[in-house]
Amino acid sequence: MTSDTRSHGVTLLGPLHETLARATGWKAVFFAALLGAFAGLAFAPFNLTLALAIALIGLVWMIDGARGQQRWGRAIFARGWAFGFGHFLISMHWTAAPFLVEPEKHAIFLWMPLILLPGGMAIIWGAAMSMAGAFWSASPSRIFIFTLFFAMAEWVRGNLFGGFPWNLAGTSWVPGGAISQAASLGGIYWLTVITLFVCSAGAALVDTREARSLAMRFMPLLVAIGCLAGLWGWGTQRLSHPSGETDVDIVLMDVGVPQAEKYIDGRPNPAVFRRYLEFLRDIPARPRDIVIWPEGATGGYLLGAQQIEPVAAYLGDRTLIAGTVRYTAGSQGEAWYNSLAVLTADSARTGAAGVYDKHRLVPVGELPLARILPFGQQLAGILPGALQRMATAGYEPGSGPALVFGDTVPPFVAMICYEGLYPNIVTDAEHTGGERAEWIVVVSNDAWFGAWIGPSQHYTQNRYRAIESGLPLARVAARGTSAVVDGMGREILQTKGLLDDIPGWRGQVGRTRLPEALAPPLYQTRAGKVLFPLTLVFLSVLGLFAWKR
């Protein structure tokens, strides 16, 4: 049994509100899933934040109708879950790509990225919407309540079981643009709160209350417009300052090998390593260049004598930062790490000048499955292997965020692939290192994730780490976007392809000066860190006060 869902407010929007609010059963689930899928257009490479606004307004109106049903908790959960499933399925369908590198082996498991992953994450959104329903009303207070619980759900999604904070609502703004600068104040989660409120405020224009003034219905939207205008003006003023540059030359290199050709019969393809040596030999060099290669660049053990000796011979007075596997042998057996190493011409004799071990590992592909899943040892043999196949049983996590030091490189925060999603790594690394970093280095292997949506989204989220920290960021991603951005997230350089490439490969090279680090923004202070929880408290007080009235 449903309550009266006749619409009142802005007459033009009334029929749409009634259509969504009165939907029941599978029709409601279908509409919600379509809205969630449409919200995927808000993220890279599209960045149509308006699509997120349309989708969230539709979801609020669907909850309006569900709240009047006898089993409203179940009805709201179904709509919230379907919205999340449609969104995660469409915006993260690229997670199926690793299962298609060797489809004859792994295509049978496509249900994991296409059903299990979006369905599991959607549970968080469904539960959050059900909790919001307990405080729901037809008044504008529901906008505050909706924003509060949705924002908390996003924080949970980004932290539960290690978290997967991919495509947070705040990243729908083009990084390096005016609105994106708000991340320097309170971080990406605070910008997500603001984005959720701004995008859902229009839902207050229509509700089920009779004889209420339009002024009250317009209030959330007017507040949202004012908030957006203020952030845009502040961000525009911040961006009016040009970024300075240091005297450090950065050279980004990626040979662009397809993932399917990186290994032959389970062993590293020797052509990959030869191609990187050719880059070192043939790409014009300057004294004291810092060359950066991507995650697991050669596919093999770069720190072993067979690779480190020729690399050191080709480097000269340059420094190389490269992703590689690393292992240690002890009484407990071999331990493998997904690492980043700093190499110089002396490294053949003295070893790496600096090493960082990835500490946030991808649950399927890097973590030892035997530790985290029942029958994990058996699954490890049939699911896609480790992102570099040297460690077929999985990697050990590193000790945590850290500054990487070297005599020939300014101190930097290292992030390997998946770690570039986490805003706390820069702060934690600087706290551990006892001083401020001068830049961020991100190495990644985006060859696993196709050539379009996945790598583009990954690059966008990495740029927010620069905005939050005020540090320039150098990123090299295998068959992804390799670029340098300044401390406001503005792109300084994106690599260009080479004309003499191996057929099917996409070699990329770029050179620029490292931008100067900015003064630490508000987010790097204690005040900035508490802005997100304080905003949640403010929303709860505002929403509950308006709800009781």
More confident residue, 333 or 269: 269
Cβ atoms of residues 387 and 368 within 8 Å: no
Q: Which of 8, 488, 461, 532 is nearest to 236 (CA)?
A: 488
Q: How confident is the model at residue 407 (pLDDT cuts 50, 70, 90)?
A: confident
339 confidence band (pLDDT: 50, 70, 90): very high
Specify the pTM: 0.94
Q: Tell me the pLDDT tens digit for each residue of 48-106.
A: 999 999 999 999 999 999 998 989 999 999 999 999 999 999 999 998 887 877 777 77
Instruction: Examine the pLDDT at 391 and tell me if it is beyond 60.
Output: no
Per-residue pLDDT tens over the stretch 262-320: 998 878 999 999 999 999 999 999 989 999 999 999 998 999 999 999 999 999 999 99
At 110, the pLDDT band (50, 70, 90 cuts) reads confident
The predicted-structure confidence for 23-50, as pLDDT tens digits, reads as follows: 999 999 999 999 999 999 999 999 999 9
Task: Tell whether the model's pLDDT for residue 549 goes beyond 60.
Answer: no
Q: How far apart are CA 50 and CA 425, in angstroms?
A: 30
Q: Which domains, ranges and CATH numbers included, belong to the chain?
A: 8-240+528-548 (no CATH), 245-515 (3.60.110.10)
DSSP string of 442-458?
Answer: EEEEGGGG-SSHHHHHH
Q: What is the DSSP letter of 435?
A: S
CB 546 within 8 A of CB 141: yes
Q: How many CB atoms lie within 10 A of CB 526?
A: 7
Q: How far apart are CA 498 and CA 508, in angstroms?
A: 6
Residue 387 has pLDDT above 50, yes or no: no
Residue-wise pLDDT for 238-256, tens only, equals: 999 998 999 999 999 999 9
Catalytic residues: 295, 358, 417
Q: Distance between CA 288 and CA 30 in Å, rounded? A: 58
Q: What is the pLDDT of residues 121-172, one digit of tens each?
A: 999 999 999 999 999 988 889 999 999 999 999 999 999 888 899 999 999 9
CA distances from 516 to 28, 96, 463, 487 (A): 52, 38, 16, 8
> What is the pLDDT averaged over residues 487-504?
90
Strand partners, 354: 342
Mean pLDDT of 180-207: 97
